[in-house]
Homo-oligomer: A and B are copies of this chain.
């Protein structure tokens, strides 16, 4: 029987400590830019120990990529499928997703940059397609259309519009901050403004003519 001691807070087991350090380093520098030595230093351990727990850089990376992919896309899919009236839902998603991205601004570029290779597309393992196609959100949209409440739109267009409008300014943050002459608060304020603009724009489009 393994003896597991839960400490008051500060302490963690070594594996978790390495993973947390790796996440921070990978998010900031990407796969190629991150070095195992740097991860080991950040975790306060040795290179050998990183490989002891995770066998290789690639395997360590993959586990962190999967977690963040799920946080990034899984979160929005989950919110889309809540059983809330459409307009309320759109306002709520934009609000909460903006907050999430502001709190985790490195996730989008991390996910999208590593995805460039497109190689294995191991997000298939996460069943994103099935979740979207069979989802409550898709049915909800169809119903609203057939009731004549909104004009027809493919779910994927709506999702791209919501996510793109929130995420793109974060991706381009250095440029946006420079052009708008924003400090950290100024940029946050800019994003707060978008919480109102984006849902209003979507609803203005959806309302039937």
Contact = CB atoms under 8 A, between A and B. Distances in A.
Given A30-B116, A123-B178, A163-B172, 17 more contacts: A28-B116, A29-B32, A109-B113, A109-B116, A112-B112, A112-B171, A113-B116, A118-B174, A121-B178, A123-B175, A153-B197, A156-B190, A161-B198, A164-B165, A171-B171, A201-B204, A204-B204
Interface in A15-56: 28-30, 32-33
Interface string A175-209: 11011110000000010011001101110110100
Interface residues of A, number: 52
A7 interface: no
Given A113-B113, A175-B123, A205-B200, A169 B164 contact: yes
Contact of A109 (B29, B112, B163, B164): B112
Contact of A160 (B116, B160, B168, B178): B168
A157 to B, nearest CB: 6
Contacts of A173: 118
Nearest to A34: B32
Interface stretch (A81-89, A124-132, A139-147): A124-132
Nearest to A190: B156
A173 B123 CA distance: 13
Interface string A103-116: 00010010011011
A73 interface: yes
Number of identical protomers: 2
A117 to B, nearest CB: 8
10 contacts: A29-B32, A32-B33, A115-B175, A129-B178, A154-B193, A156-B180, A160-B168, A161-B198, A164-B164, A204-B207
